[in-house]
Chains A and B, each alone.
Chain A
Amino acid sequence: MKYLDEYRDASIARALAEEIRKRCTRIWVLMEICGGQTHTLIRYGLDELFGPNVQLVHGPGCPVCVTPLETIDRAIALARRPEVILVSYGDMLRVPGSHSDLLRVKSEGGDVRLAYSPLAALDLARAMPARRVVFLGIGFETTAPAHALAVLQAAREGLANFSLLSSHVLVPPAIRLLLASPQNRVQGFIAPGHVCTVMGYAQYAALAREFRVPIVVGGFEPVDLLEAILMLVKQLEEGRAEAENQYTRSVSYAGNRAAQEAVERVFEPCDQKWRGLGLIPQSGLRLRAEFAAFDALRIFPLAEVRPEESPECISALVLQGLRKPTDCPAFAVRCTPENPLGAPMVSSEGACAAYYQYRRLVSVKEAP
């Protein structure tokens, strides 16, 4: 597959990794922000290639992990209503809410359906005018334009039975929070390539300047990540702190204006709770009043939700890179992928789930 396979080339990957090893005169702590990047790192075992001088801390870039409990509890409440069809992306179906999850609700008779795209939810709304189709629209800046277009399309067609349960998060405020924390030990960031495809990277240039930290916009294939890491290492070794773009085939400084305009038209910034990180001001998106007719939060009478997070779960600290999953007393004991206490153990990109696998192979390797 063009523009994919070339970026999985083994000899290029090795060459980049060797260069990274050569350049490092000390340990550097880097953070990759996007869950998809974490996924690639693990799936291709990239740390085996670039060596121990680069330590990667996994950032809060997993929308599944950071979707607030309230949103999941609300989605569950809606799915239990007999007239509602709750449509969701696959990876959200398993995330635990306060007491249940969407897959469970499905087993209890709720109409919960999986979709690859919000377009499917629109199709469903057209096909089933007697039902209320609610789309669980979670995501970062990458996905917000798709949700915006879906709402605009619904408005154009007067699709009154379609609505969006919106839970969007914006990346720069979260990074700012991490950088401003006195416990931050991340020295360089790989910025999320598809978020930046939409937004451009001016915001990251500003962060780089303000906090004097190098930021490289990275893609998602092994060669992309290795190249981004190399660019960060070079900056750090040379004492620079700039925003650079590795993912030039998809990202431009200004980003995708049409996508940004669609989002601005339909959504406005709001304060947003991040599961594990707490409330971050102006880090979310909500539907503008003009689109209230398509806002599930406004249409449905939703009881006040009092979410309950497991007291043992230290996801907050893990998501900020301040603790490793292995520091958590519940890790792999009371909290496992089969029995997750918190979001980072649930999601495939979650740090805890990743570490759960890490742990197994090392104990195997170190066995006599």
Chain B
Amino acid sequence: MCLAIPGKILSLEEQGTRMGRVEFGGIVKQVCLDLVPQAAPGDYVMVHVGFAISKVDPEEAEKTYALLRSMGALAGELFAEPPGAE
């Protein structure tokens, strides 16, 4: 139901509402940051229909990803082909 993608806040502007320039890959867009009052330039936010709805928690992300990464590395040693593929 909800297409939201992560983007990095480049800069902020208060124009009545709190707006930010947010970068997604190679593109920069103005996004409303009213819902993430704690977010600052350099932070990543999840953006849905032009509004940031959460600030990505980098520590949490790194912690859980480290575990996944080691799973992946282990699997890389064991498999040549993905399971179930022809």
Residues of A within 8 A of B (CB): 1-4, 6, 9-19, 21, 34-36, 48-49, 51, 61-63, 89, 116-120, 139-140, 142-143, 145-146, 149, 153, 156, 192-195, 197-198, 220, 223, 227, 248-251, 256, 258-259, 262
Contact = CB atoms under 8 A, between A and B. Distances in A.
Q: Which residue of B5, B35, B75 has the most chain A CB atoms within 10 A of its CB atom?
A: B35
B58 to A, nearest CB: 8
Nearest to B83: A18
Interface of B: 1-6, 8, 16-17, 24-25, 32, 34-37, 44, 46, 48-51, 53-54, 56-57, 60-61, 64-65, 68-69, 71-76, 79, 82-85
Contacts of B2: 34, 36, 139-140, 142-143, 192-195
Nearest to A5: B25
A189 B64 CA distance: 21
Nearest to B65: A6
Given A11-B76, A256-B53, A3 B61 contact: yes
Contacts, number: 153
A106 B46 CA distance: 33
A21 B82 CA distance: 12
For the complex of A and B, 5 pairs with smallest distance between CB atoms: A117-B50, A194-B2, A15-B75, A12-B72, A142-B2
Given A1-B24, A140-B1, A153-B17, A14 B82 contact: yes
Contact of A4 (B5, B37, B79, B82): B5
Give the interface SS of chain B, mostly helix, strand, loop or mixed: mixed
Given A2-B8, A149-B34, A34 B82 contact: no
A17 B68 CA distance: 12
A62 B3 CA distance: 11
Given A10-B82, A250-B4, A256-B53, 7 more contacts: A15-B75, A18-B83, A116-B49, A143-B1, A145-B35, A149-B35, A194-B48
Contacts of A139: 1-2
Contact of B79 (A18, A61, A153, A220): A18
Nearest to A194: B2
A143 B1 CA distance: 9
